[in-house]
Structure 1
Amino acid sequence: MNVMKRVQKQIDRTVGGFILRGAVTEEPVPFSEREGLVYKEYKVGDSWGKLFDCAWFHLTGKVDPAPGEPVFLKLDMNCEALLYDREGNPLKGFTNGSSVFGFMGYLGDPGKYYYPLENFTDGQGNVELWIDAGMNDLFGNVKKKGRIEIVEMVTRDMNMRALYYDLKVLRDLKIGSMKLDREAFRIYRKGLMKVRAIINRQKPGWVSEALELTEELLKTPSKLDHQISSIGHAHLDLAWLWPIRETWRKGARTFANVLRLMEDYPDFKFGASQPQLYQWVKDQHPGLYEEVKQRVAEGRWEVQGGMWVEADTNVSGEEALVRQMLYGIRFFQKEFGIRVDSLWLPDVFGYSGNMPQIIKKSGLDNFMTIKISWNDTNKFPHHTFNWQGIDGSEVFAHMPPEGEYNSPANVYFLLKSARNYREKHIDNRTLNLFGVGDGGGGPAASHVERIRRLNGTAPMPRVKMEFARDFFSRLSMIKEKFPSYRGELYLEKHRGTYTSQGWVKYYNRRMEQKLKTLETLLVQTGRYGEFKEEVRAIWKEVLLYQFHDILPGSSIKRVYKECLERYEALDKQTDEIFRHVTGQSPLSSEETVSLKELSAYNPLPVPLRAQRFTGQEYQELHLSPLSSTVRDAGSWKREASENNRMLENDRILVKFNRRGAIASIRDKKSGRKVLRGTANRLTVYSDIANAWDIFRFYRLLPKRHMKLIESRAFRYGPVREIVQRYVYGRSRMTQIIRLRDGESRLDFELHGDWQNNKKMVRTAFPLNLKTDVAVFDIQFGSLKRSARNKTKIERAQYEMCGHNWVDMNDGERGAALFTDSKYGFRTKNNTLDLNLIKSTNYPAKRGDLGLHDIRYAFFVHDGDHLAAKVDEKAMEFNTWIPFGKSSLDCGQPLFELDSEAITYSALKESEDSDALILRLYERNGREERVMLKINRSVESLYETNMVEENPVKICDGNRADLSFGPFEVKTIQILLKGSRSSEEKPL
């Protein structure tokens, strides 16, 4: 047995056991209801539950230690557990040692086992404990069949413990010094040989003798000039390999564990992000939350990041990203009196090119991530840099060189931080985040013990425990010396997250669109204040599901079953608000209403043709901007047609082949061929990856096509329609293709039951043009990406994220794909290729099998995407229109704009008053001027930042001449006559 194991075995001495009784339930039971459960006796070695079961355990025993010797509970039940005090407050989180996290050996031991029994013992030595347990390890697995491993009373030899940590660190220092500092290596090798001899002899007083020697060895000075700012961390996924309700419990365990660690180590500092997590702890454990507030006030606990949750920034919409900031920043201000200054997104799967503007205009200056270090092809060139967005906004960014937010804070990782730092020629400071994350738990004593021993010990850098805020504050003083990087931070990994779990993406887009329409309508009708709290609560829940392992599709099946149920409830809740405001609920697509009774509301600042198909009838209303005013209307019955191989109108001629795919499209005005090959053939690729990823060479694997079994043609007056039925294996799909007179846009609907696992369904449109770029719609603007496939960077971008549209053009002609909830595109070889379905088996088993409803459109145009108004037309395709069966009185449009280059993302009431907030943005990437007119009695107009702070007066009255830079976003506060200003109602 090596000396370290010999020392480790002598730290603990068992002095007693417990009688263990437990009550197992499928879902959590509150502390106040635990005694009403039915209990049975368990013993060590018993298994007590299946995955995600919950249990209350009642432990009783008697302490009989040596006089003055503290006794500890030592617990490992192969699960996560939480110890409560007598009043029902969480005290300490426990984690099993046999964990998937632990098998990632380089990250360290996840186990947390001990708690002193001093406060649980009565005058006769009787001990009584209550423990809430969850049958899962950190990563949502049952380990060792869920057997109860250790339930003991032990005493602990703290000198032996200190010697054990000394030996572990010295062993690593010797290895780390081997190539970096030969002198230190010789010192450690010789010193450790002496320590081993002392331990092997074990003469009286050997522990003190060994400690004196190890302490002296740990004073060996380092020659490395590098400073690491180290902060305890517990990156906690709000759902992933466990359900959301388990995260509530993980949050309490993590926070409780950290608070106990702070009692043991006065120099220990910790930080946590995500106000949603704090809110859950506050709601369920107010006593624990007050302890957190106390530590924050003491300057030992850092509140991190500006977002409500650590949200995906690829798929989340523009206004949703602003609301993440709005609710996140304000939560920390209100609860802790702290104005955060950094965005904290360590684990998000790539970062939108407009994030710097959103960060900066939310009053934040800094940005921290780890994830771009995960690139699978090209190393990102920087660790510290000035990140510029598509509008020119700039934030200061740091990516810890360890490439890890679960740092074990050991020799290897801290040296990696110093040695790998790409900007070391500019400065010698980096950031380190240590602790057990993903599944929570946070740092253990072992992390802190290592850091204490590694501060400037050869060959290590200096390590200082401090807030990330302090690190950024010092480093940003010389930020002009660091390089700049412009545009998106594209992650060369996890490209499948643009498509996986199609229904969550569908509902996310639907709720984003529906909430925009609802808020606009509430403002115009003057009724926003009545529903302000309800709308805010809906928004916050939508933001929760934008967490970076929910919306991207990388969680287990249960997460999606539960969040889709909640999406449906939120959908109905918004309908109910519409009913209160308008006197009627929005019509479903199945409800039939005569054209005379039909009404609708247009939430866009441009005229809109609202279209409605009800099976046997097509209805359309031409609506004025921001209005329910109908300019024109029409209704046509469905009639059968004979030609199921062609769609034609005055603009384009579309021909289909016998397999149902598009054989050709001809632009009738110019006579040109739009396509250079067959288009919209539903192609099935093998998907051998998981929900995160797409196999790089999937196109080289055998592929199949869905088989056409029936095709029928119909006409609704100005609309031609072809209905196709397809099969593939056990899957059945119906595709509806429509073309309206006067339009060069083909609309596609795909409905059916997909039942073939490990497959990916795509559609493609090869274009008869040549271009090196594709233009992608992103939040508050657009982004040009290379459409070539020559360089390593271009080849790595074989799947890209787009929002409402993606366009390819050569300046004279082009085409675009519009989608209502699909985000994964390939734009190589002058082809627009869209990912429709991605069905995998992990993490969600049989993921994306089942029903699908998919909409997309192919738009043929002259000129480039700006001349063709692609963004405006795609917005019309995507906007949610509430139809009603009687007239809607929506009031006068609140605002008018004299430039179509400027549109809006939100019209709402201010968070702090009844002033109104209008968020405008320039969408074409050009400098623009616009006259804004407010159709109300206005006191004055102000410009604020995105979180409605720092109002600067623009003008008095209801008109303002505004100047916009390319893709600039402006938040306008409208103070109506008789309303309260934001200054009159502080946070």
Structure 2
Amino acid sequence: MEYWAERIGAQLRYAKELCAAGAAEDNGVIKNVEEFLARERAENGALTKAAAQEAEGMLIEQFGTAAKQFTIICAGHAHIDMNWMWRYDETVSITLETFRTVLNLMNEYPEFRFSQSQASVYEIVAKYDPEMLEEIKERVHEGRWEVTAATWVEADKNMPSGESAARHLLYTRGYLAKLLDIPGDGLDLDYEPDTFGHSLTVPEILAKGGVKYYYHCRGYEGHNLYRWQAPSGSSILVYREPHWYLGGVNPDWAYYVPEFCMRHGLNTMLRVYGVGDHGGGPTRRDLERIIEMSSWPVFPNLRFGTYGEFFALAETIQDRLPVVEGELNFVFTGCYTSQSRIKMANKVAENALGEAELLQAFSHSATGAPGSPERMAGAWQKVLFNQFHDILPGSCTIDPREHAMGMFQEAMAEAGTAKMRAMRQIAGAVDTASLGIGAGDGTQSTGEGAGVGFGVESFRVSQTSRSGGKERLFQIFNTAAVSRSEAVEIVIWDWPGDYSKLIVTDHTGRRLSHQLLDKEPRTYWAHRYMRVLVNVEVPACGYATLVINEECREDLPKPLPRDPRLDAPDEFVLENEHLRAEFHPQTGALVSLIAKATGEELIDGTRGGRFRLVTEDDAKRMTSWRVGRYMDVQDLTTGVRLKHVEYGEEGIRNSISMETEFGRSKLEVTISLDEGSTMLDYDVKCEWHERGRTGEGIPQLNFNLPLSYKCDVYRYDAPCGTVDRQPLDHDVPANNWAWALPNSPGGKSAALMSKTNYGFRGWDNSLSHTLVRSSFDPDPDPEYGVHRFRFAVAVVDGNAANGEVIKAAQAYNQPLTALSVKPNAGDLPLKGSFMEIASGTAVLSAVKLPEEGPDGAVIVRLYEAEGQDSMATLKFHGKVEGAEFADITERGLGSEGIEFSGSELRFPITKYSVVTMNVKLAGN
């Protein structure tokens, strides 16, 4: 009885929807059927099978033909969250058991089709159940198992860098094509059902990786079927799920079909089904209902199918679909800041791998040393896994975080090892023997080998000493695509000389200014060291050579007592040739920031740049996903202890330290300004013991920078691009920086740049940067402990090109690296650049070895930052023998428009586009 009541009720409702959509005429039939059914219920107390069949016959006569003009493609899927609220071993179990269910059902239902995303789940099968992999491959080749994985995981689309987005496409296509023996170019759907918002550059990156289609649910409330166009003009065909990406099969599926199909000019609609989040997939009931409901005479056709089939139909009407531009944001704004350790790990690992690959590529091209792209791929895949939309966004629990941090350490081990190996290969080919440096103290030396592991805790390569004696040799590496004249920190181990006589020279013998950062040598595992800051010039993507020695002269300045002769009011000012920054002597707030070139004051001194303890309202719950309304804002400006940091007298770096305690926590900050710099660097250590609780709110630590000038537009960097946003009183994501654009053209302006975090807020003529927040669900205590954050207040021209800000942020995130070396003979000069962007508006995304390719080839990826069609010129260290365009997956696209001569390469790059070049350099 219930079955027939549901069946006739669903068909009656569907007939109404046909009429409402203009797909059929009623002619009073619906009313007659409704009256008939009402009488039957009244007379019999229920709806009998006979009555339902009679009513069905009445509907068939009027609507039977119209009903079957529409079809629902039923795409079976299992949404498998990577470690959302469980351990990785549970993710493995979920995956394997779900797929066993699917394979069993396929054996029983020959028409059943199944679709599955994420390269990570196929990797699980290959690693833990290779026999199952063979079964899946068989179904894939039959066309019954659709591989919808274009990315390693269903990743966040706002915080990962553009290069990470490219690596998802590169490694997924290569891995799955080989693993499953399928054409890589068939992986043309990016399936992102649950991703929390989408950057405006997604269509450009996907299009350049061979992806044509996009499926999503969140971040946009407009059209269901549309073309999403990037600022470059590249577009992809998008289906925004009007319902949801998981669940069971029900008759109400049919009710939406007529309107959807009539609105789009299609006769087919897509519906996704299957138990998900914790896996599960389609059930036997789902399959039986699809078969059963398709047989109902006044109902749409239902058939097992795939996403690819639907998108192929949608592609036939794409020219008349609406075009959507811009980012598809914002949803779950707490995910830009929750679980700050995971966010730090992602940003640090992306930069570390990028630096290692660049050095490895140029070590190979310059010295012939072999690279290891397969090992780099393995490290990248660990980073990509952690970009899953519940891991990097922080909406997870302690077990996923611990797993993520373990994978981060493994990726960093690979990156650090590869970077060190590449630098030593390059150093081994530089003709440092020409400097005539001695071999050191021989058997009496303790310096050689000192310092193993030193600096790695700060995500640098080990600052191990490779020489002894007074004369020491260092090479300084710059992995940014801009020439840099700035301070680099070098570490000298067990030096037998007099530090008051220490001198630093470059490869020409020119004296370089330096500053001792320690009053006395410090101790580290039975060795003693001194940190020295040196002003050095290093070319783009290149290196320079420095020599440390003891000055041989007797007329050195005689030290005088430094006892105070007069007292003066405390003044806390950091100043160089570009900036003057003043801090309030009681509160530590940045109350003045003057750009000396113009004399402009950039800070609203009545508020000052200061740290704040915010209490968010937790009324919306889902605290890791949502930043609540600011209920209370407490400036951390009381009980502040300020002091000048004492370094050597040379003045390359000046710093102020501040400490304060609040709640149960402690904040220690060192603010530094280097000679020649336009950035105030904030090195923050926070012992965080604040906890969020239901009804009490969510504690948050942020830094707020109020501005003296009017700002109605804030610019942020996005993956391979930038985005302008209006003032918004909530957090927004940025890869590295937020820039407050002045309403008045010209002059100077301020930006915040970060090495560790992603959440910014441009509001009320101010910039804010969220550092840590204690959400309490699903993890009740995700942030307890000691944190390190790094960010900078940067002064930039108000009309600066985007590329200038992007390059400054890249340099900030990739500090110069010092390497202790021994002298050796070689063919490379003492100072050199492997590559520079000599002209054009492109900025560098990556330099790497090709996944497969000839010796001497390098992959260079860039993106256009200014919205201009232009010619880019790259200058390499060696002769260019050939070049071609490639897509992100490194498939060749021809060489039209490319010119090269000697060491220079010229090629066109269109506005806001991503370009990948495969460049063949002369052999060694």
TM-score band (shorter)?
0.7 to 0.9
Q: Equivalent residue for 1:300?
A: 144
- Quote how far apart the aligned CAs of 1:707 are: 4.2
- Secondary structure in 1 matching 2:791: strand
Please state if 1:679 is matched with 2:608. Answer: yes
- Secondary structure in 2 matching 1:951: strand
**Contact 1:187 1:217 (8 Å CA) reproduced:** no
Match of 1:337 among 175, 182, 185: 182
Q: Equivalent residue for 2:400?
A: 559
Separation of aligned partners in 1, 2:601 and 2:879:
54
Deviations 1:432-472 (A, max 9, x none): 11111111110101212222233384775443322111111
- Quote how far apart the aligned CAs of 1:932 are: 2.5
Please state if 1:600 is matched with 2:476. Answer: yes
Please state if 1:743 is matched with 2:677. Answer: yes
Q: Equivalent residue for 1:88?
A: none
Separation of aligned partners in 1, 2:907 and 2:294:
54
Please state if 1:769 is matched with 2:709. Answer: yes
Match of 2:911 among 953, 957, 966: 966
Separation of aligned partners in 2, 1:827 and 1:623:
35
Match of 1:943 among 885, 893, 903: 885
Separation of aligned partners in 1, 2:146 and 2:136:
10
- Quote how far apart the aligned CAs of 1:591 are: 5.8
Separation of aligned partners in 1, 2:549 and 2:582:
28
**Contact 1:919 1:969 (8 Å CA) reproduced:** yes
- Quote how far apart the aligned CAs of 1:426 are: 4.4
Quickly say closer, same or farther: Cα 1:303–1:867, change in 2 above 3 A: closer
Please state if 1:504 is matched with 2:504. Answer: no
Quickly say closer, same or farther: Cα 1:705–1:333, change in 2 above 3 A: same
Separation of aligned partners in 1, 2:59 and 2:247:
21
Match of 1:836 among 743, 749, 771: 771
**Contact 1:727 1:733 (8 Å CA) reproduced:** yes
Quickly say closer, same or farther: Cα 1:317–1:830, change in 2 above 3 A: same
- Secondary structure in 2 matching 1:654: strand
- Quote how far apart the aligned CAs of 1:802 are: 0.9
**Contact 1:221 1:457 (8 Å CA) reproduced:** no
Match of 2:318 among 479, 494, 505: 479
Q: State which drifts further: 970-979 or 648-657.
A: 970-979
1:525 counterpart letter in structure 2: S
Deviations 1:792-824 (A, max 9, x none): xxx6xx221111211112231311111112111
Separation of aligned partners in 1, 2:208 and 2:292:
42
Please state if 1:705 is matched with 2:581. Answer: no
Please state if 1:665 is matched with 2:587. Answer: no
Please state if 1:611 is matched with 2:488. Answer: yes
Quickly say closer, same or farther: Cα 1:539–1:895, change in 2 above 3 A: same
Q: Equivalent residue for 2:845?
A: 905
Q: State which drifts further: 890-899 or 493-502.
A: 890-899
Separation of aligned partners in 2, 1:955 and 1:867:
26
2:476 counterpart letter in structure 1: A
Deviations 1:873-920 (A, max 9, x none): 111111154332226989664433312632322222222223321112
Provide TM-score, normalisation by structure 1: 0.74
2:733 counterpart letter in structure 1: C
**Contact 2:254 2:299 (8 Å CA) reproduced:** yes
Q: Across the two proteins, how many residue pairs are aligned to each other?
A: 789
- Quote how far apart the aligned CAs of 1:725 are: 0.8
Q: State which drifts further: 703-712 or 774-783.
A: 703-712
Quickly say closer, same or farther: Cα 1:443–1:185, change in 2 above 3 A: farther
- Secondary structure in 1 matching 2:76: strand
- Quote how far apart the aligned CAs of 1:937 are: 4.6
1:973 counterpart letter in structure 2: N
Separation of aligned partners in 1, 2:44 and 2:872:
78
Please state if 1:714 is matched with 2:555. Answer: no
Separation of aligned partners in 2, 1:384 and 1:887:
63
Quickly say closer, same or farther: Cα 1:905–1:868, change in 2 above 3 A: closer
Separation of aligned partners in 2, 1:965 and 1:586:
45
Separation of aligned partners in 1, 2:611 and 2:195:
31
Separation of aligned partners in 2, 1:396 and 1:218:
37
Q: Equivalent residue for 2:248?
A: 408
- Secondary structure in 2 matching 1:424: helix
Match of 2:166 among 310, 313, 322: 322
Match of 2:799 among 845, 864, 889: 864
Separation of aligned partners in 2, 1:439 and 1:640:
69
1:411 counterpart letter in structure 2: P
Separation of aligned partners in 2, 1:537 and 1:190:
69
1:862 counterpart letter in structure 2: D
Q: Equivalent residue for 1:399?
A: 240
1:672 counterpart letter in structure 2: E
Match of 2:211 among 360, 364, 389: 364
Separation of aligned partners in 1, 2:654 and 2:577:
12
Q: Equivalent residue for 1:42?
A: none
- Quote how far apart the aligned CAs of 1:264 are: 2.3
**Contact 1:622 1:633 (8 Å CA) reproduced:** no
- Secondary structure in 1 matching 2:157: coil
Match of 1:694 among 621, 626, 651: 626
Separation of aligned partners in 2, 1:233 and 1:866:
45
Give the structure, 1 or 2, with the largest relative contact order (CA under 8 Å, sep 6 or more). Answer: 2
- Secondary structure in 2 matching 1:291: helix
- Quote how far apart the aligned CAs of 1:397 are: 1.0
Quickly say closer, same or farther: Cα 1:895–1:217, change in 2 above 3 A: farther
**Contact 2:246 2:274 (8 Å CA) reproduced:** yes
Separation of aligned partners in 2, 1:430 and 1:847:
42
**Contact 1:387 1:485 (8 Å CA) reproduced:** yes
Provide TM-score, normalisation by structure 2: 0.79
> RMSD over aligned Cα, in angstroms?
3.5
Deviations 1:478-497 (A, max 9, x none): 21101111111113x21111
- Quote how far apart the aligned CAs of 1:417 are: 5.6
Separation of aligned partners in 2, 1:761 and 1:634:
45
Separation of aligned partners in 2, 1:967 and 1:632:
43
Separation of aligned partners in 2, 1:210 and 1:262:
37
Match of 1:623 among 538, 554, 568: 538
**Contact 2:169 2:889 (8 Å CA) reproduced:** yes
Separation of aligned partners in 2, 1:468 and 1:184:
37
Deviations 1:848-887 (A, max 9, x none): 2211110111112333231892222111111154332226
Separation of aligned partners in 2, 1:461 and 1:706:
67
Q: Which runs of 5+ in 2 are unaligned?
A: 21-29, 425-448, 492-516, 519-530, 551-558, 693-698
Separation of aligned partners in 2, 1:432 and 1:634:
73
1:857 counterpart letter in structure 2: A
2:625 counterpart letter in structure 1: D
**Contact 2:197 2:328 (8 Å CA) reproduced:** yes
Alignment of 1:222-261 (within 5 A): 223=66, 226-261=70-105
1:345 counterpart letter in structure 2: E
Separation of aligned partners in 2, 1:630 and 1:244:
46
Separation of aligned partners in 2, 1:640 and 1:917:
59
Q: Equivalent residue for 1:985?
A: none
Q: State which drifts further: 698-707 or 740-749.
A: 698-707
Q: Equivalent residue for 1:760?
A: 700
Deviations 1:371-419 (A, max 9, x none): 235xxxxxx22111111112221111111221x0003231234424655
- Quote how far apart the aligned CAs of 1:217 are: 10
- Quote how far apart the aligned CAs of 1:955 are: 5.3
Separation of aligned partners in 1, 2:839 and 2:42:
80
Separation of aligned partners in 2, 1:399 and 1:801:
22
**Contact 2:636 2:660 (8 Å CA) reproduced:** no
- Secondary structure in 2 matching 1:808: strand
Please state if 1:518 is matched with 2:370. Answer: no
Deviations 1:271-313 (A, max 9, x none): 0011110111122112211111111111111110311111111
Quickly say closer, same or farther: Cα 1:852–1:481, change in 2 above 3 A: same
Quickly say closer, same or farther: Cα 1:416–1:574, change in 2 above 3 A: same
- Quote how far apart the aligned CAs of 1:607 are: 1.3
Quickly say closer, same or farther: Cα 1:184–1:291, change in 2 above 3 A: farther
